[in-house]
Every structure is written in C-alpha cells, then in structure tokens.
Amino acid sequence: MDSICVNARAKINLSLDVLGKREDGYHDVKMIMQSISLHDKVFLKLTDDKDIKISCDKRWVPSNSDNIAYKAAKILMDKFNLQKGLDIKIVKNIPVAAGLAGGSADAAAVLKGLNEMFSLDLKQEELMEIGKTIGADVPFCVKGGTMLAEGIGEVLTEIEPLKNVDIVLVKPKFSVSTPWVYKNLNLEKIISRPDTDYIISLIEKRDLKNLGKEMVNVLEAVTIKKYEVIGEIKERLVKLGAFGSMMSGSGPTVFGIFENRATAQKVYEEMSMDNRWDCFLTETFCEER
C-alpha cells in the first residue's frame, strides 16, 4: 500500500475542569472528551525521495515542519527508521485554534495511516504512547469516542459511548490561544465546577436533558470576560431549543446538544443567518467497540 486517506475527527468537551497547576507549567485537568463527525481528510502518499512534504488547502495552516501532522510523521518515521519520502495533504474542515483539537486530530491520523501503510502492526496503546510525545490531545484523537481524560489530558478512561447526539457548533470569527486562556485562569476564583462523576452517570443513562444542564467548562470564565459573544451564543442556543450549550476546550467554539436532527437543523439554519460566526451541523461519533 503506498497511499491512504484517513479521517481526522474533531472533539468537543462535555465538561472541563482544571484541578491545579503542575511544576512543569502544565495543568492537571479532568474532562470528558467526545469525538464528533466533523473531520479533516489526511491523504498520505509514499514517494521515492527522503523528505516529508506537507500541504493544506487552507493557507493559514502551516505547510512546513511547524504543522503538528509533519511532526507526527517525522517522529514515527525516525523511530522505525522508515527510509521513504512522504507526501501529506490535509483537507481542512475543522476550524483552526477553535477548541476542537483539529491539529491533534491530523497528527493522530498520520500515526494511524503510517501504521497501516508500513504494516507496523502497532497496537492502539502504542500509537497513543507515541502520540503523547506530540501533544496532550493526540492520544485521545488516536482512540476517539467518549472518554474521561485526566493528567494533562493523556490519561484516558473509557465511558459509555455517547453515539449520534445531534450537535450544532458555532465558531466566532476569531481564534483563541490555549496558552493565553490558561495564563489568565485564576484557580482560586473558579466558582462553578462540573460534577464529573454525575455527568458520567448521565452519559451512561443517555439523559441528554440533564447532561445539557450539568455541563461546565471552567475556562469559559476567562474567555467570556474578554469575548462576550461566547456568552451570547450560549444563551441563544439554549433559547432556540438546545438541551444545553457550552464552550469546547479553550474556545471560542460553542456547541449545543439537541434532542433530534430536525431541531438541530432548524437552529443551525437560524444561527447561520448571523455572519459574526460560522456554524456546523454535526453529531457525536463513536466507533463500534
């Protein structure tokens, strides 16, 4: 096999708590991660030269060694001494720097694709170990589904898969830097935290109504203070019929969860009329176990 196309799926957070700051500067988190159907396409092709080349259809995504997908390829190819050239092409559908782990998803797709193309027979756990050295969200993107993520996000525990929940994503037309959000988070001043264990029990029962009410992301306090529009989107989604609405990751994307596709579709159309943001209609995604 000398070429392959891998779907790189985005994620949302169904809850996000920050427990403390570590000596190494990272934060300990406790969050529920959920894959969604929205995805980039990552095309891999082996070539006869020795270089890794990367390109993307969106000019604001780095097309050089700064791209995290390039880093993933380099780490894996060096580790297994794979003496080939590689052409990586990314068709980017996931908004960038939006709290949806688009870069990590591309990196995970490269690891999975190279594992197939070179018949390395690496187990998912081994790919996740390699992923950990690339970025905290990469192990989740290798595994996908519905997961409790602890540590800096790399310690994963499976939760009952939350399949096919209809989601509307609303992404304001600006980016938010994850380091900026964490720098401005005052751990002493967090007022509302998610009850993660209770949220997990709601996911197990597929109680979407209460899940919508219980979702909390402690990073919202930082982003909404600077970008009020995030709060406005949250309110509008709930007013229009979402069971609940929350910012994903460090933002600025806000998502709403819905009872059914018809309601989600209507809200997607309504929200799409405002050109301050981009909207996406999608659903939660879990591979068959």
Catalytic residue list:
11, 137
The interface mask with ligand ATP, positions 234-273, x = CB under 6 A, is ---------------xx-----------------------
Segment interacting with ligand ATP (CB under 6 A) among 22-30, 62-70, 207-215, 270-278? 62-70
Q: Give, as ranges, the residues between 66 and 95 that touch ligand ATP (CB under 6 A).
A: 66-69, 90
The interface mask with ligand ATP, positions 157-186, x = CB under 6 A, is ---------------------x--------
Handedness of CA 75, 77, 83, 86 (dihedral sign): negative
Q: Which of 4, 75, 82, 97 binds ligand ATP (CB under 6 A)?
A: 97
Segment interacting with ligand ATP (CB under 6 A) among 25-33, 60-68, 166-174, 189-197? 60-68
Residues paired with residue 284 on neighbouring β-strands, in sequence order: 36
| Look-up of token digits 């380099």 | 74
The two three-digit tokens of residue 136, written as one number? 């905290």
Any residues with CB less than 8 A from the CB of 251 and at least 6 apart, and which? 98, 99, 176, 181, 219, 220, 223, 227, 230
Q: Which of 96, 120, 152, 221 binds ligand ATP (CB under 6 A)?
A: 96
Helices within the chain (DSSP H only): 68-79, 102-117, 124-132, 138-143, 178-183, 196-205, 208-214, 220-226, 228-239, 261-271
Number of H helices, E strands in the chain: 10, 10
Per CB under 6 A, residues contacting ligand ATP are: 61-62, 66-69, 90, 96-104, 106, 137, 178, 249-250
